[in-house]
Amino acid sequence: MDHATYDDVCHVFIDPEPNRGDWNMAIDELLLTAAVERGQCSVRLYRWAEPTISLGYFQRFDDVPTPLRLAELPVVRRLTGGGAILHHHELTYSCAVPAGHPLARNPKDLYLRVHERLIDVLAAFGIHVQFRGDEERDRNREFLCFARGDSFDVVMDGGHKVLGSAQRRRKGSVLQHGSLVLHRSEFAPQFPGIEELALPIIPAAELTKKLADVLSSQFAAKRIFREFTPAEIQSIHESLPK
C-alpha cells in the first residue's frame, strides 16, 4: 500500500475478557503490522488477567534490578520504549495509526489528542485530571515508569500520575498505548488510581465503552466495532514467544 494513503475506517476492539501479557502484546503487534501493511487504523481497549511487568523495548531482562516484591510476577516486553510498567488494576488502550494519517506525522500530536480525549471522558464522569505540564522533565532511572515524570502525563491533584503512554514508530506508522490506573496494586501501593483519588467510582464497562467511542472518533470518519477474525487469532498465536 502507498503509505501516503490510509483507509478512512477505524477498527475498534474491546477485549471481552482480561488476557495474559504475551497475548496482549501480540495483539498490539498485529495491529501495528496492519497499520504498516494495509493502512488500517485501530483502537483497542483491554485488561490483564494477572499482575504483569512489561519492560520497555530497549530494556534488557538481565539488566533490570527488579524490586523483590515484583520478582515473581510474569514479565513481557512491550513494543514501545520507556521504563517498566506494572499492569494490574488498570484499563489499557492502544491505537495503531497508519503512516498517511495526519496524526502519525508528529508524535506529540498523537499524545496530545489521545490524552485530551481521555481527560474529557473522565471529566464527563466527574473526575478531573490534567496534564502534568511544562515542569522540568524527570529523568530519574526508577525501575517503574509511573515513578518517572513527563509533561504529557495525566495527573490528579497532588501530581499523582494516573495515565502514561508510549509510542513505537515503524515505517511511518505509529503504535501508541497507555495505562489508566483504576486503583492501586498491592505490588505498587505508591501509585493510587482514580478510584482512590476521586469519586464517583466509574463502572469499568461503561468507562471502557465511552473511551473506545471517543478515541476512535478522532481517527476516522467511519468506525467498525468488531472482534478478531479466525485468521487474525491464528496470526496472534503464531507470533507468541516460543
Mean pLDDT of each 10-residue bin along the chain, 242 residues long = 66 96 97 95 97 87 72 90 90 96 92 94 92 64 72 85 93 95 92 85 90 93 94 94 77
pLDDT at 172: 94
In a domain, 163, yes or no: yes
Asked, for residue 106, whether it belongs to a domain, the answer is: yes
Dist. CA 114–CA 120, nearest whole Å = 10
Q: Kindly state whether residue 213 falls inside one of the protein's structural domains.
A: yes
Specify if 2 maps to a domain: no
Is the omega angle on the peptide bond into residue 200 within 30 degrees of 0, that is, cis?
Answer: yes
Q: By residue range, what is the domain housing residue 32?
A: 9-239
Residue 185 falls inside a structural domain: yes
| 211-225: pLDDT as tens digits | 999 999 999 889 999
Number of domains in the chain: 1
Active-site residue numbers? 145
Tell me whether residue 63 is in a domain: yes
The answer to whether residue 1 sits within a structural domain is no
What global pTM score does this model have?
Answer: 0.91
CATH code for the domain of 228: 3.30.930.10
Answer yes or no: is 4 within a domain: no
| Of 32, 147, 24, 139, the residue nearest 77 (C-alpha) | 24
Tell me the residue ranges of DSSP E strands in 133-199: 154-156, 160-170, 173-181
